[in-house]
Amino acid sequence: MKFIFTCLIFLALSYATFAQQKAKYTIRVIDLSGNATRGSFYAAADDGLTIIRNRKDTIKLSADSISALYIHRKGLAAPLAIAGGLTFFVLAAKSDKLVESVVLIAAGVPVGVSGGLLIGGLLSNKKNYKALQAKDFPLIKSNLQKYTVLK
């Protein structure tokens, strides 16, 4: 019982610290030629977007060359997948029967991880903008600024 209580306290504290962090969003920009650019969404302006790519280089994309935007929240699926897997692991550790523990670990942990990934994917804020033109950016700029690092 002490082990389970300790695990629950640890999960509650780590969730509380995770909830205090500012949400970060990943963006995928499709240009007119069909090429995709992915990275962290840094800033939105009337004339285009600024994106930080994985190598930490900054790219300024012109509004004339963008045809679609796909925005989703970063870092939500992994904690839920870990929590789902740990739930079945704790249930297996609590069980007195060896066969039941093995079944809960072998079958339950993958099911818990999959369920956590599914719930994390459903809960992440997703925003799609398709068939964009340069004249649309001043109209959607205020909406896009909710997802940027710069406010």
Residue 127 burial (10 A CB sphere; 0-12, 13-18, 19+): middle
HSE-CB of 32 using CA atoms within 13 angstroms: 8
pLDDT for 82-133, tens place per residue? 888 888 778 777 878 888 888 878 888 788 888 887 887 777 767 777 877 7
Q: How would you classify the pairing of strands 58-62 and 36-45? A: unpaired
CATH numbers and ranges of domains, the chain: 1-22+76-135 (no CATH), 24-73 (2.30.30.100)
pLDDT of residue 21: 60
Confidence of residue 142 (pLDDT cuts 50, 70, 90): confident
Least confident of 27-36, 59-68, 125-134: 125-134
